[in-house]
Amino acid sequence: MFTHIWKKEIQGELYTWKSMLWLVIASLLFSFTSYLLLTNKELSLLDQTELLWLLGKIIVGVALLILTIDASSIINVEFERETAESLFLSPVSLRDFILGKLLASITLWAAVFLVSIPYIIVTSAGSHLAWAFIGYIALLGMLGVVGFVFLIFGISLLYRSSKNTITTSLIILLAFATPALFTSALKNDVVSQVFSKINPIDNIFNSLDNVLVDYKISVIENWQFLLPLVIFCAITFLFLFLSAKRFTQQGIIRND
C-alpha cells in the first residue's frame, strides 16, 4: 500500500504550482551561483576545483532546506486536515504510511538533483570531474536527505503539528549547518573537531572537498566521511522507529 501513498503524494505535491515553485527557486539559485562563479573577477581567481566545491555546497544546502520544509508538513498535514484517522482505518499500516511519505521526499530530492545536473556539467567543463561531481552529489545528498527526513518524520509523529515540527527542524538544520561553514582554522579546539567528525553536513562538505579539490575520487578514500553519514542515518532511523512505536501506543487521536 505504500505505493498508493507515494503516488498520492506525487500527485498532490510534485504536480502542483508550489512544488514547481521550489524547483524554479532552486534553478534560479543554481543559475545565480554558477554565473557568479564563472564571471566574478575575484571568484575567477580561485582554482576551478574550489569553485566546484562552492557550487556543491550550494546544491546540497538548497536541497536540505527544501526537503526540511517539505518533510515537516508531509506527515503533519494528515493530522491537521483530520484525514489521518480515515487513512489508518483503511488497509494502510503505519509502516506503509511512513515509507510512502519517505519515497515522496526522495522523489523531490531527485527532482532538485536533476535540476542541478546542467549547472554541474557547465561549471566542471574542462576539469574531468563532471561525473565524479554528479556521482558524489547524488550519494552524499541522498544520505543527508534520508537522515534528515528520518529525523523530521520522527519529530512529526511526536508533535503532530507542522508549525512546531518545521521550527524544530530548521533549528536542528541550522545547528548542523552553521559550524560546517566555518573554516578549518576556526575548528582547532577539541570540541569543534569532535563535532565536525559527527556533523553530517560537515562530512558532506569535507567529502566534496576531498573529491573535487584533492582529487580523491574513490569511495575508499572517502570512507571517513561516508561512514558518519551512514551512522547518522541509522541513528535517525532508530529515532523514527521509537517515535512510531510511541505513536502506535498513543493512537491516532492523542489525549494531551
Please provide residue 92's backbone torsions phi and psi, each rounded to the nearest 5 degrees.
Answer: -125, 120
pLDDT at 99: 92
Share in percent of the chain as helix, strand, coil (round to 5): 85, 0, 15
Cβ atoms of residues 132 and 211 within 8 Å: yes
- pLDDT at residue 3, as a whole number: 78
Residue 160: which of 253, 241, 235, 88 has the closest Cα? 253
- The CA distance from 145 to 152, in Å, is 10
**CB distance 76 to 15 below 8 Å:** no
Are 98 and 153 in contact, with CB atoms under 8 Å apart?
yes
CB 182 within 8 A of CB 173: no
How confident is the model at residue 255, as a pLDDT? 45
- Record the cell numbers describing residue 96, joined without a space: 506503509
**Predicted pLDDT at 41:** 64
CA distance 203 to 232: 11
Q: How far apart (Å, rounded) are the C-alpha atoms in residues 202 and 208?
A: 10
pTM: 0.89
Torsion angle of C-alpha atoms 234, 235, 238, 242, degrees rounded to 10: -160
Q: pLDDT tens digits for the chain (256 residues)?
A: 677 777 777 776 665 656 678 888 899 999 988 888 778 666 665 677 888 899 999 999 999 999 999 899 888 888 877 777 676 667 778 888 899 999 999 999 999 999 999 999 998 888 888 999 999 999 999 999 999 999 999 999 999 888 899 999 999 999 999 877 776 655 666 777 788 889 999 999 999 999 998 889 999 999 999 999 999 999 999 999 999 999 888 776 554 4
| Residue 248 pLDDT | 85
pLDDT, position 114: 95
Q: What secondary structure does DSSP assign to 173-240, as a single string?
A: HHHHHHHHTS-GGG--SHHHHHHHHH-HHHHHHHHHHHHHTS---SSGGGHHHHHHHHHHHHHHHHHH
**pLDDT confidence of residue 43:** 61
